[in-house]
């Protein structure tokens, strides 16, 4: 799961600078109403945009991890046995999928609140980095429970990948007590962010009559 660390940085940049353009431009240029005047429905339009963004992110996230697995397998350093290999590959794909859905949902949800690309990027920055800063200050400086880290959008996706592999990162461990943030809460935090992103996106397009 550590292989996802660097790709996530690239995905964050993509989510902030590129992904918002997938929906902002159509609303700004009036293309959205043109699309909806065809048999294309609002939900289908949003699904197509989401898949397009997710596909680009998936290449960045899953590609390096799968190549690393393939390279190790060729060199005889991969998992022992075909069943174990399939298990690792499945966990890599599942982790990649969750990370991609997470950032795509948050990015498009935050970007949907405005029709301007620059403001959309600021909205995504606020959702990702702003919330992350507040959460980490609360935990590290104010002394809030480390459980609050499940709301950190910059760390909970990678932590979810770690839990899928049966591991956990140091950040989610209290070194004074040795307690680890429960896996169920980590999954719940990830699901909450994804649901929030989809919820904001759907609500925004419902308000403009696209859904």
Break the chain into its structural domains and give their ranges: 2-207
Give me the chain's average pLDDT, please. 88
* Contact assessment for residue 3 and residue 65, using Cβ atoms and an 8 Å cutoff: yes
Mean local confidence (pLDDT), 9-21 = 88
String of b and e for 162-171 (b: at least 16 CB within 10 Å)?
bbbeeebbeb
pLDDT confidence tier of residue 211, bands split at 50, 70 and 90: low
The model's pTM is 0.88
CB 28 within 8 A of CB 75: no
């Amino acid at each position: 799961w550590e292989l996802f660390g660097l790709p996530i940085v690239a995905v964050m940049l993509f989510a902030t600078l590129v992904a918002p353009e997938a929906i902002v431009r159509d609303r700004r240029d009036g293309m959205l109403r043109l699309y909806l005047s065809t048999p294309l429905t609002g939900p289908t339009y949003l699904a197509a945009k989401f898949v397009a963004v997710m596909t680009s992110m998936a290449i960045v996230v899953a590609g390096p991890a799968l190549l690393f697995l393939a390279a190790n397998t060729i060199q005889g350093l991969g998992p022992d046995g075909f069943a174990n290999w399939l298990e690792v590959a499945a966990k890599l794909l599942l982790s990649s999928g969750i990370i991609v859905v997470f950032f795509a949902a948050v990015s498009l949800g935050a970007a949907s609140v405005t029709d301007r690309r620059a403001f959309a990027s600021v909205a995504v920055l606020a959702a990702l980095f702003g919330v992350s800063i507040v959460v980490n200050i609360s935990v590290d400086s104010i002394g809030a429970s480390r459980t609050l880290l499940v709301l950190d959008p910059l760390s909970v996706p990678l932590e979810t990948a770690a839990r899928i592999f049966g591991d956990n990162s140091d950040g989610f461990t209290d070194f004074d007590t040795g307690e680890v943030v429960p896996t169920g809460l980590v999954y719940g935090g990830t699901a909450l962010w994804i649901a929030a992103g989809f919820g904001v996106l759907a609500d925004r397009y419902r308000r403009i009559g696209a859904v």
